[in-house]
């Protein structure tokens, strides 16, 4: 899926002193049974109707929009989506590499797509009914955790080699050949498994993870606490030009421009 740059945004209603707030909050998981395949649960309130720029994280999400439960596929570049006024969403974020175990289909089939979960798993109708009856967003998030836990119990387990490789990439590893060797698997075989289980190549996922680390440090650029060249090297880019190229490829703009945008 993709997530916003700001967790909280406020807007003053025209002609009034009333402030509308848009919020996005992530939560740690409650169920140990779901932790191996998921990153977090989350809740979001749109606040007002607008177009919003979203940035890739390499993950696939299950999202409840108060009407239906959908699967939102992964993206590898930023895009702009439309938010309805006063909408709320609750979701659970799957680890890269866990989609097939939870959904029963290759992650590669979901890239850039949004699909109703009932079209993939007919039994998901019961989960939608449970979500619709839940009194709080916390109950809804827990219901999504149970959905993942139940699917892991009856389906195939995530491929450990892929999850371990994803973990190494998230921790900053850059050389696919070295990752494959550390896991005693051929590089070509690892790339094939990534294509099916993650839906992205190891290199593409590595770029996204590094871009996420860049986003987390944008304030250092905006506040001039770090120079772009030093930050690039610290994040594992070859140099500032390399960082700028990859940032533009993923976000459509330069790190410095993105830092200014990040200040809202």
Q: What rounded mean pLDDT belongs to the chain?
A: 90
Cβ-based neighbours of 119, under 8 Å, separated by 6 or more: none
Please name each of the domains of the chain with its CATH number.
Answer: 2-154 (no CATH), 217-264 (1.10.10)
Query: Mean pLDDT, to the nearest integer, of 19-38?
Result: 90
Alpha carbon distance 180, 188 (integer Å) = 9
| Residue 183 near residue 161 (C-beta atoms within 8 A) | yes
Question: Three-class SS of residue 114?
Answer: strand
Residue 196, both tokens: 């099916």
Instruction: Give strand ranges (E) for the chain.
Output: 2-4, 8-12, 19-27, 38-45, 50-56, 60-64, 69-72, 79-83, 88-94, 114-116
Alpha carbon distance 255, 187 (integer Å) = 32
Q: How confident is the model at residue 14 (pLDDT cuts 50, 70, 90)?
A: low
Query: Does the pLDDT at position 216 exceed 70?
Result: yes
Query: Does the pLDDT at position 222 exceed 80?
Result: no
> Residue 86's pLDDT is what?
76
Query: Does the pLDDT at position 238 exceed 90?
Result: yes
> Residue 12's pLDDT is what?
62
> Residue 84's pLDDT is what?
83
Alpha carbon distance 90, 44 (integer Å) = 6
Query: Does the pLDDT at position 33 exceed 80?
Result: yes
| Residue 91 near residue 133 (C-beta atoms within 8 A) | no
User: Could you tell me what percent of the chain has a pLDDT over 90?
Assistant: 70
Alpha carbon distance 50, 97 (integer Å) = 32
Considering Cα of 138, then 106, then 117, then 4, what sign does the dihedral take? positive
Q: Across the strands, what pairs with 28?
A: none
Residue 209, both tokens: 């993870």
Alpha carbon distance 131, 142 (integer Å) = 10
> Residue 230's pLDDT is what?
92
> Residue 192's pLDDT is what?
95
The gap between the terminal CA atoms of the chain, to the nearest Å, is 22
> Residue 158's pLDDT is what?
87
> Residue 22's pLDDT is what?
85
Query: Mean pLDDT, to the nearest integer, of 78-102?
Result: 90
User: Could you tell me what percent of the chain has a pLDDT over 70?
Assistant: 94
């Amino acid at each position: 899926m993709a997530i916003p740059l700001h967790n909280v945004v406020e807007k003053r209603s025209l002609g009034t002193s009333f402030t509308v707030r848009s919020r996005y909050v992530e939560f740690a998981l409650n169920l140990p049974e779901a932790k191996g395949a998921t990153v977090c649960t989350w809740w979001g309130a749109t606040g007002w109707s607008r177009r919003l720029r979203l940035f890739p994280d390499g993950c696939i999400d299950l999202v409840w929009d108060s009407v239906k439960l959908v699967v939102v596929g992964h993206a590898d570049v930023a895009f702009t989506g439309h938010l309805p006024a006063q909408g709320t969403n609750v979701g659970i974020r799957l680890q890269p590499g866990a989609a097939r175990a939870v959904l029963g289909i290759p992650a590669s089939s979901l890239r850039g797509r949004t699909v109703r979960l009932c079209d993939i798993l007919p039994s998901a109708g019961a989960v939608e009914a449970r979500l619709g009856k839940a009194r709080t967003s916390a109950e809804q998030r827990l219901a999504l955790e149970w959905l993942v836990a139940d699917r892991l119990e009856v389906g195939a387990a995530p491929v450990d080699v892929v999850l371990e490789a994803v973990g190494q990439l998230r921790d900053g590893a850059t050389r696919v050949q070295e990752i494959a060797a550390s896991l005693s698997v051929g590089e070509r075989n690892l790339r094939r498994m990534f294509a099916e289980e993650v839906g992205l190549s190891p290199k593409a996922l590595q770029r996204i993870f590094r871009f996420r680390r860049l986003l987390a440090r944008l304030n250092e650029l905006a506040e001039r606490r770090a120079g772009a060249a030093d930050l690039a090297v610290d994040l594992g880019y070859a140099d500032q030009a390399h960082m700028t190229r990859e940032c533009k490829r993923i976000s459509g703009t330069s790190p410095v421009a993105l830092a200014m945008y990040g200040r809202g």
